[in-house]
Amino acid sequence: MIKLLFLGELDIHASAFLPFLSKHGYDVTVVNTSHWMFPDKIYGTDIPVYNFYKNSKIRLLFKGRLEWFRKSSLYSLAEKLQLAPEKIEQLIKQKEVEMIYGSWGSHSLPEFRLIRKFNLPMVYEFLTYPTQIYNFAVKIENIFNRNIIQSLHGRILATENMLSYMKNVFDIRHGKNLVFAECYPESFFYKKRLPRLSERDGQPHLIFIGMDVQDIFSQIKEIVRRKIHVHVCDTEEASRLKYNTGFLHTFRKFDYSQLFDGTFATFMTQFDACLVTYNFEKASALERFHNSIPSRFSIALTAGIPIIMPRGYLKGCEKIIKENLIGFTYASYDELKNKLLNEELMGYIKKNAPQKVKQFTLENRFEIIDRFLKRILEI
């Protein structure tokens, strides 16, 4: 039984991955570093959560758009002064922790500075890096993170692009690296196939599962202008967007439980494809998109439907859909329409996507990450 302490925010990835670890040979202790959500347990489990910032006034310093930079600055100073959080130190001793684990992007790296003094193996799973999308902000992010990223005993990186980026920017020589894309347990995956909406009206129907509808609305308008149906989540933001063409639709927001039990994945099976995109034009630095596998892509995989995206941005995602023949990319909206109307192409990827689902489950891929973590302990 490996005694692991998770130090980070309990996003959907951590909330799915940590209970899986606890069922597969890991004694998991959780320290949640969110400044605004303080759960008592990991969702759907009895695993207790220790909230690092609950009842702490210091979290008020981290509110706002520059929260990460303020936190990094403060904890850089705290490390130099050799300050360490007593709560975490007590947990490490009490639980006899053997390894520290964190995940997502830069958000929890500042806290890792505070626990280096305990001389325990530290592993970080980078789902996204860098997290900033502007050149100047990325430079600052890398300056703050360089030392801590170099000192990690293990780095789990979403793509080969991210690994190359880390080696080039940080000259990483210490520790081990694993390229391992985010994946979810079988419970997240679809339970049955619903009739496709296109079978009813003969027109292609896409689903966009991101919450940033307003951010990509110019793309959506171009798509629906070509008489392609787009379905987006019915958020307050989406409701303010007035574009009544008969081809823009909303669906109700699904809660956590419906992601965890496959209800949302099953809902997605009625669409011809899932659109994965961002507002790439507003970014002056594209490395975040080039290096990462966003969660909206990983969640799309749970439905076993084709995945489509603009070409040249989400390079890690493009590699997956090309290697597995489960989607396509497009350089123009006319190319998108032509491909959606190509019966031979769509017929093949619609048939192939459900057949490839099993290889993307955490059950199928867990041995890779399990073996890596055990190697770290042997160092």
Q: For position 329, which CATH number holds?
A: 3.40.50.2000
Per the CB < 8 A criterion, the answer to whether 9 and 39 are in contact is no
The confidence score (pLDDT) of residue 79 equals: 58
| Structural domain count of the chain | 2
Q: Are residues 94 and 162 in the same domain?
A: yes
Amino acid, single-letter form, for residue 370? D
Model pTM above 0.85? yes
115/193 same-domain check: no
Per-residue pLDDT reduced to its tens digit, 141-160: 999 999 999 999 999 999 99
Owning domain of residue 295: 187-360
Same domain, yes or no: 155 and 261: no
Same domain flag for 22 and 33: yes
Measure CA 106 to chain center: 13
What pLDDT score was predicted for residue 141? 93
| pLDDT mean across residues, the chain | 92
Residue 307 has pLDDT above 90, yes or no: yes
Percent pLDDT > 90 in the chain is 80
**In the predicted model, is pLDDT for residue 87 greater than 90?**
no
Q: Is the pLDDT of residue 367 over 90?
A: yes
Do 199 and 347 reside in the same domain of the chain?
yes
Quick one: pLDDT at residue 36? 86
What sections of the chain are H helices per DSSP? 12-22, 67-80, 86-95, 109-115, 135-151, 160-170, 198-201, 217-225, 236-239, 256-260, 263-268, 287-291, 295-301, 315-324, 333-340, 343-356, 362-378
In a shared domain, residues 164 and 217? no
pLDDT (0 to 100) of residue 218: 93
**80 and 156 fall within a common domain:** yes
Mapping DSSP to helix (H, G, I), strand (E, B) and coil, where does residue 28 land? Answer: strand
What pLDDT does 130 receive?
96
pLDDT category at 113 given cuts 50, 70, 90 is: confident
- Over residues 256-271, the pLDDT tens digits come to 999 999 999 999 999 9
Please give the average per-residue pLDDT across 127-138, as a whole number: 95
The verdict on 20 and 98 lying in the same domain is yes
Do 173 and 198 lie in a common domain? no
Whole-angstrom distance, CA of residue 219 vs CA of residue 104: 27
Question: Do 76 and 194 have their domain in common?
Answer: no
Report the pLDDT value the prediction gives residue 53, as an integer from 0 to 100: 85
Mean pLDDT, to the nearest integer, of 341-351? 98
Q: Is there a single domain that holds both residue 370 and residue 340?
A: no
Using alpha carbons, select from 266, 272, 261 the residue that is nearest to residue 231.
272
Residues 179 and 30 grouped into a single domain: yes
Is pLDDT above 80 for 245?
no
